[in-house]
Structure 1
Amino acid sequence: MIHLDLIETIGALMARHAEATPDKPAYIDDDRAITWAGLQSETAAIAADLLAGGLQQGESVAIWLANSVDWVVATLAVVRAGGIAVPISAEATAHEAAYRIQDCAAAAIFAEASLRPVLDEVAGQGIALPRLIWRDGGLAVPASAEAALPDENIHAPAFIVYTSGTTGKPKGVVLTVHSMLWVSAACWAPIAGLSADDVVLSPLPLFHSYALNIAVLGILATGATERIMSRFSASRALELLQAGEATVLPGVPTMFHYLLLAAREKGMTSLGKLRICLSAGAILPAALNRDFEAHFGVELLDGYGITETSTMVTMNRPGRYRIPGSCGLPLPGVAVRIIDSVSGLDRPRGEEGELICSGPNVMQGYLNKPEETEKVLRNGWYHTGDLARSDENGFLTITGRLKEVVIRGGQNISPGEVEEALIEHPAVRDCAVVGVPHETLGEVPVAYVVWEASSADADAVLAHCRTLLAPYKLPHAIQAIDTIPRTGSGKIIRFKLRELYVQGG
């Protein structure tokens, strides 16, 4: 069953909740809470201010803020003004932010006051900065909203979420309000049971599509209440769960691993009023799923999602029948196939192939990258690049990737992007980055480097990388190698490096 009544304009959903429960908290962080009535008025005022400042419909506005109520307010206000919200990680370097600001042609930027030095670096690269709207101890809200807000088109671009790709340059995934809310209508409400009675505790970084979908738009769709954590901390999450009213906890596998470890250390088995946990972003190990549920007595449901499909494609259902290690069944309304990536023919049940999917949740395309879009969107099907197999009952299990993205604790890392940072250092002659298994993070990037003569200085190279890459993208280790294995056309043979790592080389 798909809850189509949850698919509405941002303004209409806010008005619905503001009328029904005006004083009910909508979003809460460590510093403040905002009610549904307050959310409606604040986003309207900021949207009007953006329009008065010259924002045109369809123009992009970067959201460079930390996890907070203000992040939610700014993002929803941009969409209400007819703009496109472009989330940027608060940990992004000047190099990373500059690329996104230029690529999306941002007409304005909501930014933390603490990021002034980083924005100065961006400007120092010769980039003309647009209008800057600072968050300094809070987000300034205009006293009144004079401008009439435009009619919202739920099928127009509303979000550009950057994701790492195999080319090394991040790609801006163009998503709509319709595609994002459709996931709430087909997954969060009917499968996870998300409703106005729920309080969601979210430790997820809001700039990710997963968090944007469930922790922002899923709340807006259902009228639930969201408790935003500034960042994930296992001990803090346990404290909030035991003391608070949280009933739903979304996360990535690494978070659930650390929660279980922390609870065991503290001798804790209760998660307060929590009724369900939801995992996505990376493969959830069957052993972790089993151990978590046995320890806490709370269901931990795994699903498979990607930014290009507005997050979820498959989801496990509550109840006894689940396949260990499986990411569940396709969402109602989503068609999936497992094909031979060369011939395009469907693979028999039980045999591995590339997962492709089609549905209302599929992106419009990659911003400014028509060739990249054509490679993955073909005849109405999105080609994920992920390998999977299906059992006789249709349960899907992700088995690997055709593409080389490294998924570290649920966060995508492009090997090419890390390699670009490494090769800029004069001590590095050649390099390659591969994902290797990690006990808690699932996978981490490891760099193999061919050093210039007498120039081996891994610490200096890592320090250099820190100026170009967010912390989670940094190589977990740097290994020296005499030559990078490549094909005749120059492509890196990454599996040989993974084999070398497993062998201890």
Structure 2
Amino acid sequence: MLRTEVIRPVHELLDGHAAARPDDVAFADDARDVSWRRLATTTRRLAGHLAARGVRPGDRVAMVMANAVETAETYLAIPRAGAVAVCLNPDAAPAELAYMLADCGARVVVTDVAHAGLLGPDVTAIVVGGDYEDLVADEPPTPAPDPTDLDVTAFMLYTSGTTGRPKGVELSLRSCLWVVAACWAPIVGLGPGETVLSGLPLFHSYALDMCVLGIVATGASERILPRFSPTRILEMLGDGYTVLPGVPTHFSYLLQAAGHRPRHRLRMAVSAGAILPASVNETFEQVFGVPLLDGYGITETSTMVAMNWPHGTRPYGSCGLPLPGLAVRLVDPATGTDAPPGGEGELWVRGPGVMRGYWNRPEQTADVLVDGWYRTGDLARADANGYLTISGRTKEMIIRGGENIYPAEIEAVLLRAPGVGDAAVVGRAHPDLGEEPVAFVVGDPDLDAVAAHCREHLTGFKVPVAFHLVDVIPRTGSGKIKRFELARLLSGEKAPA
């Protein structure tokens, strides 16, 4: 059921936990932890100091920070100041970081020592390891504004950039907390006593919603890791953590590192951000002995659209059922009409989680928001019980001689081939056929055997015409494949580092 009681202003959520469980740990990392009472205080003080420095409602305050407790604090303090928290990838290339900072027009940037030198001389910075600590330790001259309007833009996250230059996605506090109310609280069961172990990058919407707002809305606790490390996670799982979020590649790496059933006290694991291969899902549950719930979400819908539940039917390979209170359609891209039962169509979404729009891009916003429906660009099918399975993307579709080919289908076959640890497929131009599929694989496989495996499991026109060994498949922080980088390799360009 929907847990709508968690959809409240940030300060009300924090003050409630500070009163009910003041000394319980809210967030912890390798350097420090923060109790609920302390978190309510540090975020209030930082919000007041931002207001005192001239930050006004609607102003953008950027964050360029590695995973840390301070990142979670800042995510919460900026909305308390009435401003928009713009969390940027701290590992972005300098040119891309400069582009996003200029695009969002941030008045102030909160950063850490490691990234302060990337910001340029004209940026007003608050630095963790410097003045940040002074600000959260002292009472501000101006009280925290603590606005109560849940429908203005509170967060702006840049799209993953799987097809090109990223766009700022405007999300409200209501849209994000609605996902908590519809997914993380009722389905995953976050609440007091639950402890989350997360190596997800906090600049991504998945982590913002589950690993920051999901914690604050429900009163759970979280250990923030600086990055995903399979060996470290396996070492820490025995310390009492109950929920482990990740992206599909994380769980593949955990299986490779585990070797046998590891010691842990997990209640469940959660996957989102990209398609989870059915084989990985099933094997993980066999080795770890707990449910691995696969879901589907995107930044433009404040993350989750569909989720598998821990009880009842869970078809492997499916991303589950639409969240309660959410409307979905599968629309035939060729006709614009709803696909027939069992047919494939572009997934359209309508509901409280849909974004307000793209920052300063009205035309691109109008392209994807149609009468309240968000056109995801993802292709999906629904079975007779309503379970959704993502089959590819409309823009990633390869058309070879009039035949539609979806890379995700080929990648699922490649990942079952001996010696293949990761894989991606992109289209290559062909003078007669239009396009043809080309595969990139990671690992130590016999490529002739991989080709034979594909011929065995795929219709002929879907079999890649070439196979390339690479050290790594380029992915976004959420695990999505950066196909445009692989396409550059095919065209002779050097892919960005």
Normalized against structure 2, the TM-score is what? 0.80
CA contact (8 A) 1:70 1:138 kept: no
Gaps of 5+ in 2: 398-406, 416-423, 427-434, 444-470, 475-480
**Matched residue type, 1:57:** P
Match of 1:261 in 2: 256
CA contact (8 A) 2:326 2:349 kept: yes
1:245 deviates by 1.7
1:93 deviates by 2.0
Alignment partners' CA distance in 1, 2:92 and 2:438: 21
Alignment partners' CA distance in 2, 1:480 and 1:279: 31
CA contact (8 A) 2:87 2:156 kept: yes
Cα pair distance change 1:319/1:482, threshold 3 Å: closer
Match of 1:221 in 2: 217
Alignment partners' CA distance in 1, 2:64 and 2:298: 22
Q: Secondary structure at the match of 1:73?
A: helix
CA contact (8 A) 1:64 1:88 kept: yes
CA contact (8 A) 1:46 1:141 kept: no
CA contact (8 A) 2:65 2:115 kept: no
1:116 deviates by 3.6
Q: Does 1:389 align with 2:381?
A: yes
1:169 deviates by 1.9
**Matched residue type, 1:219:** I
The superposition leaves residues 148-171 of structure 1 with CA deviations (integer Å, 9 ceiling, x where unpaired) of: 222232111000000145762211
Cα pair distance change 1:144/1:369, threshold 3 Å: same
**Matched residue type, 2:196:** V
1:197 deviates by 1.5
RMSD: 2.8
Cα pair distance change 1:343/1:229, threshold 3 Å: same
CA contact (8 A) 2:52 2:140 kept: no
Match of 2:57 in 1: 57
Alignment partners' CA distance in 1, 2:111 and 2:162: 29
CA contact (8 A) 2:116 2:127 kept: no
1:481 deviates by 5.6
Alignment partners' CA distance in 2, 1:439 and 1:286: 19
CA contact (8 A) 1:80 1:152 kept: no
Alignment partners' CA distance in 2, 1:271 and 1:337: 42
Alignment partners' CA distance in 2, 1:333 and 1:24: 32
The superposition leaves residues 418-467 of structure 1 with CA deviations (integer Å, 9 ceiling, x where unpaired) of: xxxxxxxxxxxxxx9x9956469xxxxxxxxxxxxxxxxxxxxx9xx9xx
Match of 1:246 in 2: 241
Match of 1:170 in 2: 166
Q: 1:132 is matched with which residue: 125, 135, 141?
A: 125
Alignment partners' CA distance in 1, 2:90 and 2:23: 30
User: Deviation above 3 Å: which 4+ runs of structure 1?
Assistant: 164-167, 404-409, 434-440, 472-483
- Count of residue pairs brought into register by the alignment: 423
Alignment partners' CA distance in 2, 1:137 and 1:270: 40
Q: Does 1:199 align with 2:195?
A: yes
Match of 1:7 in 2: 7
Cα pair distance change 1:189/1:166, threshold 3 Å: closer
CA contact (8 A) 1:166 1:404 kept: no
- Higher mean C-alpha deviation, range 165-174 or range 196-205: 165-174
CA contact (8 A) 1:65 1:110 kept: yes
Alignment partners' CA distance in 2, 1:323 and 1:301: 10
**Matched residue type, 1:251:** G
Match of 1:292 in 2: 284
The superposition leaves residues 377-433 of structure 1 with CA deviations (integer Å, 9 ceiling, x where unpaired) of: 001100000000111110100001012499999xxx9x9xxxxxxxxxxxxxxxx9x
CA contact (8 A) 1:42 1:141 kept: no
The superposition leaves residues 92-124 of structure 1 with CA deviations (integer Å, 9 ceiling, x where unpaired) of: 12211111111111010011222243224xx5x
**Matched residue type, 1:201:** L
Q: Secondary structure at the match of 1:196?
A: coil
CA contact (8 A) 1:310 1:362 kept: yes
Match of 1:144 in 2: 139
1:308 deviates by 0.3
Q: Secondary structure at the match of 1:140?
A: helix
Cα pair distance change 1:20/1:81, threshold 3 Å: same
**Matched residue type, 2:209:** N
1:329 deviates by 0.4
Gaps of 5+ in 1: 124-128, 416-431, 441-461, 466-471, 484-505
**Matched residue type, 2:242:** T
Alignment partners' CA distance in 2, 1:169 and 1:25: 38
Identity of aligned residues (%): 48
Q: Structure 2 matches for 1:77-476, cutoff 5 A?
A: 77-120=77-120, 123=121, 129-136=122-129, 139-142=132-135, 143-150=138-145, 151-165=147-161, 168-242=164-238, 244-264=239-259, 267=260, 269-404=261-396, 436=439, 438=441, 475=485
Alignment partners' CA distance in 1, 2:344 and 2:212: 35
Alignment partners' CA distance in 1, 2:385 and 2:175: 27
Match of 2:47 in 1: 47
1:41 deviates by 0.5
**Matched residue type, 1:174:** E
Match of 1:30 in 2: 30
Alignment partners' CA distance in 1, 2:98 and 2:390: 34
